[in-house]
Amino acid sequence: MEIQDIAKFLINPLLYVFLGSILLIFIKKQRLKLAILLTAYFYLISIPLTGYVFSKGWKTSDTFNPNKVYEAVVVLAGVSDSYWHLKRDGLPYIPHDFFVADERTDRILAGIYFVKSGNAKFLLIGDAVFKKYKQGMYKTYDEGICVKKLAIEMGLRENQIKI
């Protein structure tokens, strides 16, 4: 879990509305004050200006320097569609190292680009082995092998790739 995920959870207005509703149940003396406060809070959170202010506050600037050669590009696992492979396991016309793209594939493509363009020396790939239990056996999909094959096919040398 990244800090960005925690921040998204904490700025969710429904979380505070829920907590405020629970407080209203237990605090009988302050019900009117809390109801007005929650209404004002919910209004402020729901207007577009608040979202704009929060998004500007959480934005980080790009630190990439094109004049510097970095030691490595690190791409974490989860860049291909593992469920696609696990559903089709055993089909003879689908190779075991076939790369299937999904919405996170741009991370590996960017990593390959940075190494190919000379901005980094190595591509470090996170490896994940996905398993699915089917008919008394575990079916596995090793993402690192597929990503390595893709990187080689896109022009990287094998010694530039580390899983």
- 78 and 136 share a domain? yes
State pTM to two decimals: 0.62
- 97 and 123 share a domain? yes
Residue 64 within a domain: no
Q: What angle do CA 9, 10, 16 make, to 5 degrees?
A: 110
Residue 86 within a domain: yes
Q: What is the CA 66 to chain-centroid distance, rounded? A: 25
Domain that holds residue 126: 70-162
Given a cut of 70, whether residue 113 has pLDDT beyond it is yes
- 102 and 80 share a domain? yes
Task: Report the DSSP pairing between strands 137-142 and 129-134.
Answer: antiparallel
- 82 and 142 share a domain? yes
Residue 122 within a domain: yes
- 51 and 80 share a domain? no
- 54 and 74 share a domain? no
pLDDT interval class at 121 (50, 70, 90): very high
Given a cut of 80, whether residue 7 has pLDDT beyond it is no
Residues written for the chain:
163
- 81 and 16 share a domain? no
What proportion of the chain, given as a percentage, has pLDDT over 70?
92
Containing 131, the helix (H) or strand (E) segment is: strand 129-134
**Could you give the C-alpha distances from 71 to 4, 5, 41, 122, 129, in angstroms and in order?**
26, 28, 47, 7, 26
- 111 and 50 share a domain? no
The residue type at 156: L
- 75 and 136 share a domain? yes
Nearest-angstrom CA–CA distance, 134 and 89: 10
- 45 and 115 share a domain? no
pLDDT interval class at 13 (50, 70, 90): confident
Nearest-angstrom CA–CA distance, 37 and 28: 15
Residue 109 within a domain: yes
pLDDT interval class at 136 (50, 70, 90): low
In this prediction, residue 17 carries a pLDDT of 74
- 96 and 139 share a domain? yes
Number of domains in the chain: 2
pLDDT tens column, 38-54? 778 777 777 787 777 77
Residue 96 within a domain: yes
Q: Give me the long-range contacts of 97-102 (CB less than 8 A, separation at least 24).
A: 97/145, 97/146, 97/149, 98/146, 99/146, 99/147, 99/149, 99/150, 100/146
pLDDT interval class at 90 (50, 70, 90): confident
- 131 and 78 share a domain? yes
